[in-house]
A and B are shown apart, each in its own frame.
Chain A
């Protein structure tokens, strides 16, 4: 088994095929989308592949250390060009192919017109733990 992060972006990923802002969908399409995401997570729990799921708000700030005795420096809200993570699902699966398959399913979530969004998702493998057998 290996863990993978399926990463969703608010922005920064290539534009999806069905690229319509959510507030321009029919209200029922919003409901259907939310339902698809719930069902997807529930299905992963059923198959024993679910690890974690989190969503982030669109806001955020860059922060850095500014030297001894000084408060950290913050860089205001993110610029419009910044790559912005929306959330993630962590799965624990048998193979890389399975992780890709799941990301494909997630990307098929319905959007405007009830058609799949074809959203681009990032699939990132985790580093593994220590191997017991190394030689």
Chain B
């Protein structure tokens, strides 16, 4: 079957069932059951019912009624059958959009919101989500059913806060790729779908940010799994079509003149993507965008990244000055300080800080990379000592 096509329809179909009177949890289960049925039928690639949405609604509704019957509340079922509206134009609210809000509801923990979004909006199975997050399937099933209970009382027609939805999608994107589900690609798909339903600038900003980062992914990891820093990446491996799309989406958002943090981050990514070589990077403009980002978020992480950009634009000494006042316990602080100290001509301090940064690296590839940086400088220092 054409799985992506069916998965795209999931949020709308859940919306239709909810509008017909199903509660969200039951509607979501019914649509998953219908998807399973679609898989079971095994339509050949490219073939599917002439009206896939109609098919999915019909089958999901039947599954829902079966479930209600199994719950032996026959009267309820008959009421629902009577109440079933004729198929036709949708309601005034955008059901799919409402579903995004519901799955990212502030009452949910981030982990629950992520799981529920991937299932109810993304149409992934519990098993796929479990594999992507490297947890047992039973654990993920439990997380999802608890999340559904948490939002059971939330009214479906209340507009939500786009910012909470964006945070969830950003979390999914950053999880990357660690199994048979590419969560970054899935986050892009969901953000793209969201941006088709709302003209919110930050939705466009996040979509642009994701596209611009994703476009560089093939260059970010070497064949042996090691990290390749931005300056050393083979820019020929960047996906230029995806970059062009990201830039266009970003320009559309910026033109509306309501800047937000995702747009500012995307602008930085766009300036990197725009440089034919690392040496041609427009660091002055990047510093300006980090200034905006600091103004918008006052985030220490933004200040840390700004210090790197200042180091490139105005020299390592200026970069080190920009680090002043930041908490050295900040993630990646030691790595940034090491980088700036080496460029400032202090390899001893740089090597010590790289070794320290390796100790607190958040991932194994990053740890290996930072250890290699420390080893590289130490080897140079040994060579220099031997030369004298």
Asked whether A22 lies within 8 Å of B226 as measured between CB atoms, the reply is no
Bound-complex Cα distance A34 to B224 (A): 9
Q: Which of A29, A38, A59 contacts B360 (CB 8 A)?
A: A59
Is there an interface contact between A34 and B368, defined as CB atoms closer than 8 Å? yes
**Residues 210-237 (chain B) with a chain A CB within 8 angstroms:** 224-226
Stretch of B6-14, B141-149, B371-379 with 4 or more beta carbons under 8 angstroms from chain A: B371-379
Nearest residue (CB) in B for A26 is B379
Query: B374–A55 contact, CB under 8 A?
Result: no
Tell me the number of A-to-B contacts counted with CB atoms below 8 Å.
42
B85 smallest CB distance to A (angstroms):
52
A29 to B355, CA, bound (A): 16
What total of chain B residues lie within 8 Å of the partner, measured CB to CB? 19
Say whether A31 contacts B378, CB under 8 Å. Answer: no
Q: Chain B: interface secondary structure?
A: helix
Residue numbers of B with Cβ under 8 A of A are 224-226, 351, 354-355, 358-361, 364, 368, 371-372, 374-376, 378-379
A-B contact pairs, 25 of them (CB 8 A): A21-B355, A22-B371, A22-B375, A23-B355, A23-B371, A23-B375, A23-B378, A24-B378, A25-B375, A26-B375, A26-B379, A27-B372, A27-B376, A27-B379, A29-B375, A30-B372, A31-B226, A34-B224, A35-B224, A38-B224, A38-B225, A55-B364, A57-B360, A57-B361, A59-B360
Apart from A22-B371, A30-B371, A31-B368, list 19 A-B contacts with CB within 8 A: A22-B358, A22-B375, A23-B358, A23-B371, A23-B374, A23-B375, A25-B375, A27-B372, A29-B375, A30-B368, A31-B226, A34-B225, A34-B226, A34-B368, A38-B224, A55-B364, A57-B361, A58-B359, A59-B360
A interface, CB within 8 angstroms of B:
21-27, 29-31, 34-35, 38, 55, 57-59
